[in-house]
Structure 1
Amino acid sequence: MSAHDTAGFNFLQQQELPAPQVTEAQAEELVATRYGLVARATSLGSQQDKNFVIGTDGEVVGVLKIANPAFTATELAAQDAATAHIADAEPTLRVSVPLPNRSGELCTPVEGLVEGTAYVRLLRYLPGGTLVDAGHLTPSVVAGLGDVSGRVSRALTDFSHPGLDRILQWDLRFAKEVVDRLARYVDDAGLRARLESAADAAWSRIAPLDPALPRQAAHIDLTDANIVVSWVDGVPRPDGIIDFGDLSYTWAVSELAITASSVLGHVGGSVASILPAVRAFHAVRPLSEAECGALWPMIVLRAAVLIVSGAQQVVLDPGNDYLTEQSDAESRIFEVATSVPMDVMSATIKADLGFSRTTTQLPVAVPMIAAPPEQVVTLDLSTTSDVYDDAFDTAGVLRSDVEDTAARAALHGGAALAVTRFGEARLSRAPRLSQDSPDVVATGISVWIAPDAGATTLVAPWDGEVETSADRITLRGNGFELHLAGAQPAASGSVRAGDPLASAEGRIEMSVRPLGSPDAPPFVSTDLAPGWLAQLCDPRPLLGLAPLQAGADTGDLLARRDASFAPVQEFYYRQPPQIERGRRHFLMSTAGRSYLDMVNNVTVLGHAHPRIAEAAARQLRKLNTNSRFNYEAVVEFSERLAGLLPDPLDTVFLVNSGSEASDLAIRLATAATGRRDVVAVREAYHGWTYGTDAVSTSTADNPNALATRPDWVHTVESPNSFRGKYRGAEATRYAGEAVAQIEALIAEGRPPAGFICESVYGNAGGMALPDGYLQQVYAAVRAGGGLAISDEVQVGYGRLGEWFWGFQQQDAVPDIVSVAKSVGNGYPLGAVITSRAVAEGFASQGYFFSSTGGSPLSCAIGMTVLDVLAEEGLQDNARRVGAHLKARLEGLRDRHPLIGTVHGVGLYLGVEMIRDAATLEPATAETAAICERMLDLGVIIQPTGDHQNILKTKPPLCIDVEGADFYVDALDRVLTEGW
């Protein structure tokens, strides 16, 4: 696009825009004489205008903007009209409209301030700030930027004004010419060449689309520096716009391109980081397919323009610190924008918005290998495949030969060929620990040839030219390019369809792409897989097989869940991964991602422990019935459980869950004492049954918990030594108050049947009770004839490291113990252990029976859990790794003030997040955002506590130091970069 005459500014003719040289004192005088304000002016950064924050008595009044003299009054009038237009069209957007001067004018011409006429405006100040200095931007914030950009674009669709007739360096219609003219200011010759090459490549993709790209008025500077946020519960929400200085008539989609490009300048930003903004923009102002195709090339162009313009401006205005401050982010934008082929990103964007993709059919004249389709086995290497069931070592590492092992098994079973799926996310390629989305999606296929076939000849599937290199054979012809790796060349130069191309035995790799498409790596990330696969072809037809892209469409799994599974049963995360496999302290998604599991205290031994699987399978082949039959397992398991507890706890009930265990514990207390009143601790959770819900007072689990307690439940103060009414050494007073309440109940003639408490305060993130707390409260309830119940559902079974049971930490012995979760390593199994006298007291209620609680299968699993706990030294591992983990987390607390404290011991920890060290204001929203960000980095962690501000850190007891360090390093990164 060439330069032409305009009514307004024409950068292609002038090319130099040094910012007006105006001092703060001059700005203060302007405000006083023209606006009648006695105020202080503080200079703001700007590239071509001059801006000042204007404040009086600690209150910000507005932003004084002195336009570059190169801009005309008509151009500025267009900007003022556009702000009013958007404010009317989008009333929920905050818009920085101009404020009138003493004469009622919005724009004040001033002579003598700079060479020519200076046009001065005082713009409304929008509180909240921008995101330009923020670290990592969350997907929700990025979506907010896209939403604002879309709303502005929608509002300006029909806006017109003579002042839009201008040519700016920021108008992407002229970006190629801007780069051509300003690249000489870039000193680094290598960078300069890259900028010019990127601009050429981007323009070659945009130019053919130009006729199909709608044009309209556009802000074209809605970046992280010009979109203002409101803060809602500690989280930024983009909702305001400032600085209309670049308003122009241009491509509508450039509004989004410029917004999205600014996202790439933030730490942790990747090419996929822009997708939430694109989706949000599209939801407000739908994009055409042509606009989707132009979007990423425009982002590349924008990045190049930023760098060359910055280089020029440094020469024109060497004292402008703003330019230097922006250079790192601008370089990051360019590096990220050029890290992926433009065609790949364009296809990724289209796929993400639901545009259909045209599948390229391979014109195969002759199959490369003469194997009947019925003799070809297609391997399943997805996360759910059975090939992985026995493919992990004892450390949870997937064997490196799992693919070859699966293929050999198929060939030994009589197959002529074993072939993988094109586009499949292979779990076999996923590292156990990675903060980045791993490259697991296959861009080609692997082929194994039967070993007894010897060297097999592969023939050319079409006419073409053969080229060989050290690591692959390439056949180009008929509009396609075929790559083979692992084969020996049998030809060079020209070949005809059916001619020998290569010979191979064992395993070969095969990929195909249309000529001109980018050369794809063997594996790509799931984020970019749709874009890469759109550039490639499934090679299976070269073997006489039908295309078979991996991953059957099962519909929207969350929508299906919501339709059939009661929605009150919540799930983790806004956009949860689909988890279909686990091993030790790792969980694995269908996208081929391995996550470190820091929350699953249910699977005490770790996920999919082979000993548990073997014990379950073995028992299921023999017998599984209920405990009213006479069999050895229920007796042996009960004996072993009772043997883990001090006297007089010698009698066992087996149930299906923790809720049932604690419910039964309450019923045992009421039956044994003949009373109905129970004392519970506030902010605790005990279960979902009628009885356990009654004594659960955690408002995180039930917002109405305290208001809906039945009259037989009496609560005592939460013994929270960090944020409760008694803290530190004063926390010992909680026990005295609880004793006084129990004694008052006794005096009123309502002595409690029991007192129920977690022996370590679970809902508060694993907080230890004050020293002596249980001893004093147990003594008080027993003095009134009641019983002490220790809820060990979460904390028991060695999780504390130093102690097998939580009550041991308090040097107290309860009358009834409820336990579950760990007991079955994820299998539904719980237990209540008490004295024979208390157990016999239940006879007044009839008899007790749990269908599967004491089944042969339950007992076999329960005993195996106890065996593995001992044989693998997991209690000691909890002590050793837990101490290391807590020390490292406390080290983070010293560097990141958001961490208030680290609760707990062993592998029962909680990282409490606060906004203020003095008030201990809970950082609830921040904690939720941190958990979402940690998921991106490969860690599963969730909030807990009544304020949902504690990171629940309760991993399987098999976690090692490497896993603990990965968790802390990821958390350190999130707290450093932002969330």
Structure 2
Amino acid sequence: MPEKPEFSFRQTLHMRRNFIGKSCKLHFEAAPLKISRASRQYLYDDTGQEYLDCINNTSHVGHCHPHVVGAGQEQMAKLCCSSGFLNEQASLYAKHLVSTLPESLCVCFFLSSGSEANDLALRLAASFTKKKDVLCFDGAYHGNLATLVEISPIRYKRLGTAHQQKEWVHIAPTPNTFRGKFDASSENPGLLYANETIKVIEKAHRNGREIGAFISEHVISASGMVVPPENYFSIIYRYVREQGGICIADEVQCGLGRCGEQYWGFQLHNVVPDIVTIGKPIGNGYPLAAVITTKEIADSLGDFSSTFGGNPVACAVGRAVLEVIDNEKLVSSAKNVGKCLKDGFKAIQHKHPMMGDVRGVGMLIGVELVMDKESMKPAKEAAEILTYKMKERKIILGFEGKDKNVIVLSPPLCFTTDNARSVVQNFSEVLTNIETEAASVGLTSLDNVGSNNSDNVTIDVITDQPTISIHAFSDEDDEEDEESAAKRARYEEVD
């Protein structure tokens, strides 16, 4: 039985609406959840209902992991904040963290959020190169501080017509081989996209601007888990450096083994950045972030201090997270479970006219929904409805991308193959109903909807893995009133 809450759901919601800014959106705004506790990959609401959490990458090794919680509790009972004094936890954590990175990345700065980390990275770049200008992707999101909003073009539309791109910001096309200028069938799309980016840099030079830093994720999460094509980053890293700039890897979303193949996202592309930024997952929910760079770049900054960055509790928690990743072999798990999840979606893709693309690496998966595979028109409403219907089945998904039509999954790394199978099967059943409804009202022509629903889809990923059986379900389950449709939530990035 769940503990009796101090305040009812209605009272809690009423206080939130009165005392918290309305721009701070809730997931599922039309029917929000009151989450009272969490464990591993599960959330529990105020009635005790269990939900499978497929989006909370902040709780990197699992909600309330006992080793992480214990480390934090033990250190908090000794010493919490000792800004400006020597403490063992910070030194030990820095040593462990740099041991996971290439040898050149050997100096740490500790902060409290990914936004702070990216802001410091820009300061370091400007200090070292003596150039302020920044190159970023048009589908990028790097944080919510003022400087970072300017290099997060995917947010420009929300800033309104008054927003003007700053002269020090230069925007390259996101190398998206599904919806971009060059698709996967193009010959060497990595080179083609790199040439487009080089044109942006050359235009800046003609206008008297010099690029000081190129900042990027290596799996572009805000664009809907876009994985840039082979060779792209190696070409651009080389060109930016030839022009006197440096390269920043934003690993907030894809670092610490989430990509499965390697510990860091940039390693998937065989490049070594000059600065790495990390946030969110390294504290497993506790405020902690880091910037790691070369000694030369670190020494170029005259002075830096952070009251809470590197405090002993945060560093004890950070050390515990790294220990759990190693001890529980979570990098390998991310690779295997992520393959199960991605291959599961690919196995059902041909049965669903609205499944335009399945992409990602490790435990970063995106499924792009379209009205039909010929027009590729983004199915924004379908993505939103699908997340609500999956919530009814006690599975929490998110949606991202420029058109908010990409279903995204970035769960805690303790996610299992059983979890993956459950998600794929329920996803398929819900999407079948949505496709049928869309066809019935003439929104799209989906002649083959449900035509193969009696078949079994085998996901031959892990030994002895059972098949997924796909079944249609009642149209009655998909009724939605006008008020709910108008108030559906938008998932926002948060630090």
The residue number in structure 1 matching 2:95 is 639
Matched, 1:872 2:328: yes
User: 1:744 deviation in Å?
Assistant: 3.4
User: 1:701 deviation in Å?
Assistant: 7.8
**Whole-angstrom CA distance in 1 between matches of 2:18 and 2:171:** 38
How does 1:473-488 map onto structure 2 within 5 Å?
none
With over 3 angstroms needed to count, the CA separation of the structure-2 counterparts of 1:953 and 1:728, relative to structure 1, is same
Mapped contact 1:756–1:791 kept (Cα < 8 A): yes
The residue number in structure 1 matching 2:224 is 765
With over 3 angstroms needed to count, the CA separation of the structure-2 counterparts of 1:925 and 1:597, relative to structure 1, is same
The residue number in structure 2 matching 1:749 is 208
Matched, 1:817 2:276: yes
The residue number in structure 2 matching 1:799 is 258
Mapped contact 1:606–1:825 kept (Cα < 8 A): yes
Matched, 1:571 2:26: yes
What is the number of residues matched between the two proteins?
A: 431
Mapped contact 1:616–1:857 kept (Cα < 8 A): yes
User: 1:725 deviation in Å?
Assistant: 1.4
Any idea what SS the aligned residue of 1:714 has? strand
User: 1:563 deviation in Å?
Assistant: 0.8
The residue number in structure 2 matching 1:778 is 237
The residue number in structure 1 matching 2:399 is 943
Matched, 1:919 2:375: yes
Point out where structure 2 has 5 or more consecutive residues left out of the alignment: 435-477, 479-495
Mapped contact 1:697–1:705 kept (Cα < 8 A): no
**Whole-angstrom CA distance in 2 between matches of 1:836 and 1:901:** 42
- Cα-to-partner distance string for 1:778-816 (whole Å, 9 max, x where unaligned): 111111111101111100110010011111111011111
User: 1:676 deviation in Å?
Assistant: 1.3
Matched, 1:910 2:366: yes
How does 1:143-158 map onto structure 2 within 5 Å?
none
Matched, 1:681 2:137: yes
Mapped contact 1:685–1:701 kept (Cα < 8 A): no
Mapped contact 1:699–1:705 kept (Cα < 8 A): no
Bigger Cα Rg: 1
**Whole-angstrom CA distance in 2 between matches of 1:559 and 1:820:** 32
Mapped contact 2:334–2:362 kept (Cα < 8 A): yes
Match 2:164 to one of 683, 708, 716 = 708
With over 3 angstroms needed to count, the CA separation of the structure-2 counterparts of 1:551 and 1:653, relative to structure 1, is closer
Mapped contact 2:168–2:209 kept (Cα < 8 A): no
**Whole-angstrom CA distance in 2 between matches of 1:551 and 1:782:** 57
Match 1:837 to one of 296, 315, 319 = 296
- Cα-to-partner distance string for 1:935-970 (whole Å, 9 max, x where unaligned): 000101111111100111110000011111111111
How does 1:589-738 map onto structure 2 within 5 Å?
589-699=45-155, 702=158, 704=160, 707-730=163-186, 731-732=189-190, 733-738=192-197
How does 1:157-176 map onto structure 2 within 5 Å?
none
Any idea what SS the aligned residue of 2:211 has? coil
The residue number in structure 1 matching 2:356 is 900
User: 1:748 deviation in Å?
Assistant: 4.0
Same amino acid, percent of matched pairs: 35
With over 3 angstroms needed to count, the CA separation of the structure-2 counterparts of 1:577 and 1:951, relative to structure 1, is same
**Whole-angstrom CA distance in 2 between matches of 1:685 and 1:637:** 28
User: 1:916 deviation in Å?
Assistant: 2.0
Point out where structure 1 has 5 or more consecutive residues left out of the alignment: 1-380, 386-423, 425-549
User: 1:702 deviation in Å?
Assistant: 3.1
User: 1:571 deviation in Å?
Assistant: 0.7
The residue number in structure 1 matching 2:459 is none
CA RMSD, 1 decimal: 1.7
User: 1:745 deviation in Å?
Assistant: 2.5
- Cα-to-partner distance string for 1:250-284 (whole Å, 9 max, x where unaligned): xxxxxxxxxxxxxxxxxxxxxxxxxxxxxxxxxxx
Any idea what SS the aligned residue of 1:604 has? coil
With over 3 angstroms needed to count, the CA separation of the structure-2 counterparts of 1:745 and 1:941, relative to structure 1, is same
Match 2:13 to one of 558, 561, 583 = 558
Mapped contact 1:764–1:910 kept (Cα < 8 A): no
User: 1:705 deviation in Å?
Assistant: 9.1
In structure 1, give the amino acid aligned to 2:21: A
Any idea what SS the aligned residue of 1:860 has? helix
Mapped contact 1:697–1:706 kept (Cα < 8 A): no
Any idea what SS the aligned residue of 2:142 has? coil
In structure 1, give the amino acid aligned to 2:309: G
User: 1:700 deviation in Å?
Assistant: 8.2
The residue number in structure 2 matching 1:533 is none
Any idea what SS the aligned residue of 1:672 has? helix
**Whole-angstrom CA distance in 2 between matches of 1:649 and 1:563:** 46
The residue number in structure 2 matching 1:188 is none
The residue number in structure 1 matching 2:493 is none
Matched, 1:587 2:43: yes
**Whole-angstrom CA distance in 1 between matches of 2:301 and 2:141:** 24
User: 1:722 deviation in Å?
Assistant: 0.4
Mapped contact 1:767–1:909 kept (Cα < 8 A): no
**Whole-angstrom CA distance in 2 between matches of 1:809 and 1:607:** 27
User: 1:924 deviation in Å?
Assistant: 0.2
User: 1:552 deviation in Å?
Assistant: 5.4
Higher relative contact order (CA 8 A, sep 6+): 2
**Whole-angstrom CA distance in 2 between matches of 1:706 and 1:778:** 33
- Cα-to-partner distance string for 1:4-58 (whole Å, 9 max, x where unaligned): xxxxxxxxxxxxxxxxxxxxxxxxxxxxxxxxxxxxxxxxxxxxxxxxxxxxxxx
**Whole-angstrom CA distance in 1 between matches of 2:177 and 2:8:** 51
**Whole-angstrom CA distance in 2 between matches of 1:832 and 1:773:** 24
In structure 2, give the amino acid aligned to 1:824: G
With over 3 angstroms needed to count, the CA separation of the structure-2 counterparts of 1:553 and 1:916, relative to structure 1, is closer
Any idea what SS the aligned residue of 2:262 has? coil
**Whole-angstrom CA distance in 2 between matches of 1:554 and 1:811:** 49
Q: TM-score, normalising length from structure 2?
A: 0.84
In structure 1, give the amino acid aligned to 2:81: T
The residue number in structure 1 matching 2:473 is none
The residue number in structure 1 matching 2:409 is 953
In structure 1, give the amino acid aligned to 2:166: P
**Whole-angstrom CA distance in 2 between matches of 1:743 and 1:941:** 40
The residue number in structure 2 matching 1:849 is 305
**Whole-angstrom CA distance in 1 between matches of 2:276 and 2:9:** 44
Mapped contact 1:597–1:941 kept (Cα < 8 A): yes
With over 3 angstroms needed to count, the CA separation of the structure-2 counterparts of 1:719 and 1:609, relative to structure 1, is same
User: 1:551 deviation in Å?
Assistant: 7.5
Any idea what SS the aligned residue of 2:158 has? coil
Any idea what SS the aligned residue of 1:640 has? helix
Q: TM-score, normalising length from structure 1?
A: 0.43
